[in-house]
Structure 1
Amino acid sequence: VKRAAECAIASQRRKQENVRLDKRDNSGLTWPKDVRVFAVRRFTFKNAMKIENLKECPVCPTTIDRRHFVKTAALGSAALAAAPLGKAAKKKTNSETLVAQLFGSLNESQKKVVAFPFEHPLREKVDNNWHITKKSIGEIFTGEQQALVQEIFLKLHSEQYAETVLGQVRHDSEEEGFESTSVALFGQPNTGKFEFVLTGRHCTRRCDGDSV
């Protein structure tokens, strides 16, 4: 231990006694002259690595006691932790998805047309101009249900392009409008096997019904 301390002291003596912060930090910004901190590293036999600051930064706040620091840090941590928890709680209260809302709004006659078992082969069919069910949403759904279907469709696209894609669907429908599309629901909500499919001219959209 004695030998190690002597080596540390000898090594330090070869270095400049006053350790200064350079005028420039790693970011390349220039520090004001009066903000630079000067420190002298004093080495003793008992503690060869002890550092004592002889001059503190003139613009820095005075030292706070440990108890105050711990209390303040704890309060800050609690505040940060509370924020995501609050968001999670809010998300939980609104956990019912739009597709689940649509499914829950269907009456029995509507379910006979648009609701199918999850393993139904129709769920995997793809075509460029087709209707997955025999009736369009304009024929079978109420105005509120049609608005919900349109909202689901918009949510499947980024906000930047959603309205543009919707306009293209309307254009391809040859003036029949978005109401000419058809919808099918496969499976049951909140089971992990629940899918929404919307079809029309040059249009097929599929999504996990529990996530939209």
Structure 2
Amino acid sequence: MKNFAILLAFLAVASAASDPQFKIIPAEPLGQFMVFGRITDGFEAEMQRAIAANPNLKRVYIESPGGKNLEARRTAQLLNRQQISIRVGGKCASACVALWAATDRRELTAKARLGLHAGVPVKKAPTALEGIASAARQKITADMLRHAGFSESLIAKGQQTPHNSILWLTPVELASDGVKFTLASTPPNNSFKPRPLRGSA
């Protein structure tokens, strides 16, 4: 257990400092945060600041190509503590899918697409530890996907998809696999009127 904790700490080490690759925009008229870009270092902390400054907003709309799974997991824990839902209406891949899946209140629009593939470590472990680190990363991601009801076969299919390719999934395909979410429709006035699909988380 101690070794696993040390390994997690190693995986969480930040890469060289850089400008944020994401935007978190409070959108009061839409009743939600608009989130775009990669889930990189500082994402959870910035999301926490945005929530503190806008406590009335209870939904995150996200489009993202992915990023760091540990940062995604911490952000999902934050959203769950604050009882904030997460919605995808465009493309959400890799760590973005893990964030979506690990959040208790999950929503998709009909046009949403979730993308799975084999992850690429941001910072590789020394050769002797890379096999252990890779397995640990895969387990973290798989556990986050299981939280939403992803089947073992779909998780395996995602892990077998090369990192330079993406397995895109529609809401219909996800529902057929047993993934739990709410299918949300957004009328012209942007009011929030979700309807359940395959039950709620």
- Bin the TM-score by the shorter chain: under 0.3
TM-score normalised to structure 2 length: 0.27
TM-score normalised to structure 1 length: 0.26
Name the larger-Rg structure: 1
